[in-house]
Amino acid sequence: MAKVTFNIDRCKGCNLCVEACPKKILALSHDELNAKGFHPVEIIDESRCIGCGFCATMCPEAAITVEKEGRAEISAAMEKVLMKGNEAMAEAAIIAGCRFFFGYPITPQTEVAAYMAKRMLEVGGVNLQAESELAAISMVMGASSTGVRVMTSSSSPGISLMGEGISYLAGCDLPALLINVQRAGPGLGGIQPAQSDYFQATRSMAHGDFHIISLAPNSVQEMADLTMKAFDLADQYRMQVMILADAILGQMMEPVILRDAEKKKLPEKTWAVTGTGGRRKKNIINSLYLSVEELDKVNRERFARYKIVEEKETLFEEYMTDDAEIVMAAYGATSRICKNAIATARTKGIKVGLIRPITLWPFPKKAFQKVAQRAKAFLCVEMSMGQMIDDIRLAVGGSKRVAFCGRVGGMVPSPEEILEKLEQLNGGGVNA
Amino acid sequence: MNAYHIIIAGHGGQGILFAGKFISYAGMIREKNVSWLPTYGPEMRGGTAKCSVIISDAPVGSPIVTKPDVLIAMNLPSLDRYEPECAIGAKVIVDSALVPRQLVRTDLAGYYIPAQKLAEDNGLHGLTNMIMVGKAIREIGVCAYEDIEAAMEKTVPERKKNLLSANLKAVEIGYNFPRYSFE
Amino acid sequence: MSIVYERPKALSDVPIHYCPGCTHGIIHRLIAEILDQLNITDRTIGISPVGCSVMAYNYFECDMIEAAHGRAPAVATGVKRSKPECVVFTYQGDGDLAAIGMAETVHSAARGEKITIIFVNNAVYGMTGGQMAPTSLPGQITQTSPFGRDTKTTGYPIKVCELLSTLEGTYYAERVAVNSVKNIQNAKKAIQKAFVNQIEGKGLSIVEVLACCPTTWGLSPGKSMEWLQDNMIPYYPLGVYRDMGAKEGGAAR
């Protein structure tokens, strides 16, 4: 909740705040005149105020006070800062009201835990280094059961260990944020970047029928923004939301503005275990159902919810696809490399564009189906042996050629090799 | 030129990442798009450290620098490894106190400065990196001279503010060191 | 006429699913009595294990969570850290606590988590039909030790109270049994203490309860009580293994 108050008699009706307001909820009064004889500013819809402080920043009269619940420190951080992706996710989680972090160190995401160790102290939260990822995810389960915002963070091998707990979170419909800063596998693999956990994140997280929402940022700014969004999605749908990043994004620094996301109205957590307080019947957080009918029913109900998520929450970016004959598909760090390749390809007359899924589950099928009507071929670029490519093939249904360009083991595809592949596809290969 | 693709390389502990961060902040002050990508993990433990920095008018695509147009080489293995990767015409700053050779390629511009020795002579232990940066500012203009102080202010963390002036001094020494050719 | 005993209010008024003569019912009841006496049901959160007592969440009137196998102390950690004002207990068997969940057990104790662990040790895996547990006695016949537990190949039973009492973070560790009225009365006192410690903000309290599994032991309930007395107690001596409260000269009972 944010609150704006104006010192009306100071206002000179300059309109600067009105223009600065990103939510367009300020206006100069038509009827009122203040003591100075100006039409002063007024707020049209305070409920939509996000407390960004832009109006107050602009006001030459210093006549505006902006208040925000417990977030005074944020407005000071409105300027651009240079931050690692890992740190930006951690700070964004704090801004989103997360006060509970349970993790276990693993390269290349350790900065998340290190950042939390400092920040949680400052904001009065809890940061706990568990004895293993198995324990960490169960601690997440415990905290989430009480209705608080909670998260964990790991990298590929650690996420595999968390599979158990994530399945339980899904079976109990407990919201949680999970971060996977992917590294190369399988096994211990390596610590260099990879995108080889796509299948795991979108299909085979662990046992049982369930989905998690997978968000794939491609910049430090998006890592922050999507982290905040992830908590809302988790609470809205009682789901587990994963930020599927990679070592490049986790380790790189970019300028980032840590802006607070708009406060969404979210369902009350009446299911949480907080002690009955003698006011209600007891709540049980549970995933065990011995009655087959009942388990069938809860699974169906859960999938009905997933359907809504697929309809409402699918996100993607389209880049230069309007006239594209070849449409590339890439998410996360590789999508940036594709954009480099597109710039060069276009100067060579190759009409190429990009669809970048931002939600990997739900996958933006329709976006691919739409461009498939006019594009001649697709090129999927991944740091894997080919995982997302299956979703593209499923989406376009064999109507168009879907080629692949991938690197594994911690290697990153270069713009040059992508370009080479584009040239091959363009030179007669397109219709093959 | 509307973009710099910079590689700073040396061994772990030379302040490679810090130097990259400083250049990134200097870019940010001018509202450029910047990215900074380190090496990490065991590679850092006494091995070669590398930092890729891109400063660009356009949004940064891949943060990985494969063909640097600026190379700051702080030891011989770094020069050996990254000289062949440089773009044609790239500018290379070499610490001649630590690197006992000149550039092999003739299509690059080399600038030599005995940074390690200058640091020791001036009591600036551990600030070889910023002397190299000073040289890069002078020869290549990776950042504007007048932005040095503001960028340093942002780069040096709060708890190390006492080191601010030494860092600035190191940049100055690098900046003012006369050009000389390798003998 | 005054009531000597009545079903505790914290124990849900539903039939329980355990085998006849199973001592889980006794231990559940003792916990419920303590919840009533301390008047904490409305601020207590219990964590059920995996094993026979997996459905313990149906039997207590407080809020309950069903954890993954062995992870109850980790779940309890998450709950207690986010709701320190609540009273948090786990209810775990020997497989859950001392096999798959040993890491979580040891580390929650090492951290001195302010939780209460009720550890039910019946020296066998009950739910899966009577296999060897980490606490099965040397020579004990189970489905997976058909010739008697051979310590040369399967190692030795884990003495949980002794093990945890070596840790600084363990505030209180006591072993009790529920095979006689006297032992049950003592067990109740120990469980009460384990909850009171938590309410007073002390570290981890664990009560190990030696229990019977007539079904998989292949004995009548009555004979089971005797078997426990004759075989388990000599190997797992009853008593207080660690009590920091007594050391501090504080509220020792």
Domains defined for chain C, CATH in brackets = 24-247 (3.40.50.970)
Question: Is B115 a domain residue?
Answer: yes
Q: Which of A53-67, A281-295, B63-77, C150-164 has the lowest mean pLDDT?
A: A53-67
- The domains found in chain A, sorted by start residue, are 2-69 (3.30.70.20), 78-262+285-312 (3.40.50.970), 316-431 (3.40.50.920)
- Cα dihedral value A365, A244, B44, A410, nearest 10: -40
Chosen for mutation from B37, B55, B143 (greatest number of chain A CBs closer than 10 Å) is B37
- CA nearest A339: which of B61, B67, B66, B58? B61
- CA nearest A224: which of A256, A178, A181? A256
Q: What tokens does A79 get?
A: 């300027």
Question: At how many degrees (to 10) do helices C181-199 and C24-38 cross?
Answer: 50
Contacts of residue C86, defined as CB under 8 A and 6 or more positions apart, other chains included, come to: A146, A274, A275, C43, C44, C45, C79, C80
Q: Are A101 and A126 in contact (CB under 8 A)?
A: yes
pLDDT given for residue C167 in this prediction: 97
Q: Are C82 and A148 in contact (CB under 8 A)?
A: yes
Q: Which residues pair with A329 in a beta bridge?
A: A355, A380
pLDDT given for residue A35 in this prediction: 81
If you write DSSP's letter for every residue of C74-132 in order, what string do you get?
HHHHHHHHH-TTSEEEEEEEHHIIIIITHHHHHHHHHTT-S-EEEEEE-SSBTTTTSB-
Q: Is the pLDDT of residue A122 over 70?
A: yes
Q: Which of A370-384, B37-51, B53-67, C86-100 has the lowest mean pLDDT?
A: B37-51
Task: Report how far residue A377's alpha carbon sits from residue A425's, in angstroms, rounded to the nearest whole number.
Answer: 8
How many folded domains does chain B comprise? 1
pLDDT given for residue A74 in this prediction: 39
- CA nearest C66: which of A174, A129, A296, A279? A174
Q: Is the pLDDT of residue A121 over 60?
A: yes
When pLDDT is averaged across residues B6-18 and rounded to a whole number, the result is 92
Q: What tokens does C224 get?
A: 């089971």
pLDDT given for residue C136 in this prediction: 97
pLDDT grade for A76, boundaries at 50, 70 and 90? very low
Using one digit for the tens of pLDDT, what is the confidence trace for C1-17? 677 778 899 999 998 88
If you write DSSP's letter for every residue of B45-102 in order, what string do you get?
TTSEEEEEEEEESSPP-----SS-SEEEE-SHHHHHHHTTTSPTT-EEEEETTT--S-
Q: Which residues pair with C141 in a beta bridge?
A: none
pLDDT given for residue B182 in this prediction: 57
Taking each continuous run of H as one helix and of E as one strand, the counts in chain C are 11, 7
Q: Are C207 and C174 in contact (CB under 8 A)?
A: yes
Using one digit for the tens of pLDDT, what is the confidence trace for A205-264? 999 999 999 999 999 999 999 999 999 999 999 999 999 999 999 999 999 999 877 788
Q: How far is A419 from chain B (nearest CA, A)?
A: 14
Question: At how many degrees (to 10) do helices A156-172 and A133-145 cross?
Answer: 30
Counting every residue, how long is chain A?
432
Give me the residues of C, 101-120, that contact A with CB < 8 A.
Answer: 103-104, 106-107
Contacts of residue C30, defined as CB under 8 A and 6 or more positions apart, other chains included, come to: C178, C184, C187, C188, C191
SS3 for chain A is: CEEEEECHHHCCCCCHHHHHCCCCCEEECCCCCCCCCCCCEEECCHHHCCCCCHHHHHCCCCCEEEEECCCHHHHHHHCCEEEEHHHHHHHHHHHCCCCEEEECCCCCCHHHHHHHHHHHHHHCCEEEECCCHHHHHHHHHHHHHCCCCEEEEECHHHHHHHHHHHHHHHHHCCCEEEEEEEECCCCCCCCCECCCCHHHHHCCCCCCCCCCEEECCCCHHHHHHHHHHHHHHHHHHCCEEEEEEEHHHHHCEEEECCCCCCCCCCCCCCCCCCCCCCCCCCCEECCCCCCHHHHHHHHHHHHHHHHHHHHHCCCEEEECCCCCCEEEECCCHHHHHHHHHHHHHHHCCCCEEEEEECEEECCCHHHHHHHHCCCCEEEEEECCCCCHHHHHHHHHCCCCEEEEEECCCCCCCCHHHHHHHHHHHHCCHHHC
Task: Report how far residue C148's alpha carbon sits from residue A10's, in angstroms, rounded to the nearest whole number.
Answer: 90
* Phi, psi (degrees; rounded to nearest 5) at A295: -65, -40
pLDDT given for residue C251 in this prediction: 43
Q: Are A399 and A372 in contact (CB under 8 A)?
A: yes
Question: Is B183 a domain residue?
Answer: no
One-letter amino acid at B83 equals E
When pLDDT is averaged across residues B34-55 and rounded to a whole number, the result is 81
Using one digit for the tens of pLDDT, what is the confidence trace for C22-58? 999 999 999 999 999 999 999 999 999 999 999 999 9
Task: Report how far residue A392's alpha carbon sits from residue C37's, in angstroms, rounded to the nearest whole number.
Answer: 62
- CA nearest A221: which of A258, A177, A248? A258
pLDDT given for residue B45 in this prediction: 54
pLDDT given for residue A49 in this prediction: 85
Interchain touch B–C (≥3 Cβ pairs closer than 8 Å): no
pLDDT grade for A69, boundaries at 50, 70 and 90? low
Using one digit for the tens of pLDDT, what is the confidence trace for B152-176? 999 998 889 999 999 999 999 999 9
Q: Is the pLDDT of residue A1 over 70?
A: no
Pairing of β A176-182 and β A126-129 = unpaired
Interface check C176 vs A, CB under 8 A: no
Q: Is the pLDDT of residue A431 over 60?
A: no
Question: Is B166 a domain residue?
Answer: yes
Size of interface A-C (CB pairs under 8 A): 139
Q: How far is CA C83 from CA A142, A153, A420, C114, in A?
A: 10, 22, 57, 11
Q: How far is CA C10 from CA A108, A272, C34, C43, in A?
A: 48, 19, 9, 12
Q: Could you tell me the CATH number of the domain that includes residue B43? A: 3.40.920.10
What 3-state class would DSSP assign to C13?
A: coil
Greater pLDDT, A290 or A62: A290
Task: Report how far residue C15's alpha carbon sits from residue B23's, in angstroms, rounded to the nearest whole number.
Answer: 71
Chain B hits for A333, CB-CB cut-off 8 Å, are 62-63
Residues in chain A whose Cβ is within 8 Å of chain C: 99-100, 102, 126, 128, 130-132, 134-136, 138-146, 148, 150, 164-165, 168, 172, 273-279, 282-288
Mean residue pLDDT across chain A? 92
Greater pLDDT, A72 or B30: B30
Residues in chain A whose Cβ is within 8 Å of chain B: 80, 82, 107-108, 191, 247-248, 251-255, 333, 336-337, 339-340, 343, 412, 414-416
Question: DSSP character for C231?
Answer: I
Q: What tokens does B148 get?
A: 């040095």
pLDDT given for residue A56 in this prediction: 77
Q: How many CA atoms lie within 13 A of B1 on its CB side?
A: 15
Chain B hits for A191, CB-CB cut-off 8 Å, are 40-42
When pLDDT is averaged across residues B83-109 and rounded to a whole number, the result is 96
Mean residue pLDDT across chain C? 94
Q: Is the pLDDT of residue A187 over 50?
A: yes
Q: How far is CA C87 from CA A273, C76, C188, in A?
A: 12, 10, 17
Q: Is the pLDDT of residue C206 over 80?
A: yes
Using one digit for the tens of pLDDT, what is the confidence trace for C84-99? 999 999 999 999 999 9
Closest residue in C to A168 (Cα–Cα): C68
Chosen for mutation from A254, A347, A383, A414 (greatest number of chain B CBs closer than 10 Å) is A254
Q: Is the pLDDT of residue A352 over 70?
A: yes
Q: What tokens does C40 get?
A: 């904490």
- B partners (3+ CB pairs within 8 A) are A
Q: Is the pLDDT of residue A60 over 80?
A: no
Do residue A251 and residue B40 have CB atoms under 8 angstroms apart? Answer: yes
Q: Is the pLDDT of residue C231 over 70?
A: yes
- CA nearest B136: which of B153, B151, B122? B151
pLDDT given for residue A73 in this prediction: 42
Chain A hits for C106, CB-CB cut-off 8 Å, are 131
Q: Is the pLDDT of residue B10 over 90?
A: yes
Q: Is the pLDDT of residue C176 over 60?
A: yes
Q: Say whether the ipTM exceeds 0.85.
A: yes
H or E stretch including C171?
A: strand C170-177
Closest residue in B to A110 (Cα–Cα): B41
pLDDT given for residue B137 in this prediction: 95
Chain A hits for B50, CB-CB cut-off 8 Å, are none
Q: Are A85 and A249 in contact (CB under 8 A)?
A: yes
Q: Are C89 and C76 in contact (CB under 8 A)?
A: yes
Question: Is B73 a domain residue?
Answer: yes
Task: Report how far residue C22's alpha carbon sits from residue C20's, in angstroms, rounded to the nearest whole number.
Answer: 6
pLDDT given for residue B120 in this prediction: 95
Q: Which residues pair with A84 in a beta bridge?
A: A253
Q: How far is A339 from chain B (nearest CA, A)?
A: 6
When pLDDT is averaged across residues B73-89 and rounded to a whole number, the result is 95
**CA angle, corner A251, sides to A248 and A252, nearest 5?**
75
Q: Are B20 and B59 in contact (CB under 8 A)?
A: no
Q: What tokens does A271 get?
A: 């299911």
pLDDT given for residue C22 in this prediction: 93
Pairing of β B109-113 and β B33-38 = unpaired
Question: Is B164 a domain residue?
Answer: yes
Question: DSSP character for B160?
Answer: G
pLDDT given for residue B44 in this prediction: 52
Question: Is B182 a domain residue?
Answer: no
Residue reference for tokens 């905040």: A228
Q: Is the pLDDT of residue B81 over 70?
A: yes
Task: Report how far residue B9's alpha carbon sits from residue B16's, in angstroms, rounded to the nearest whole number.
Answer: 6
Query: What percentage of residues in chain C have a pLDDT greater than 90?
Result: 91
pLDDT grade for B12, boundaries at 50, 70 and 90? confident
What 3-state class would DSSP assign to B167?
A: helix
pTM of the shown model: 0.84
CB neighbour class for A410 (10 Å; exposed up to 12, middle 13-18, buried from 19):
middle
Q: Are B51 and B38 in contact (CB under 8 A)?
A: yes
pLDDT given for residue B142 in this prediction: 87
- CA nearest A326: which of A381, A388, A382, A378? A378
Residue B45, domain extent: 3-176
Q: How many CA atoms lie within 13 A of A216 on its CB side?
A: 32
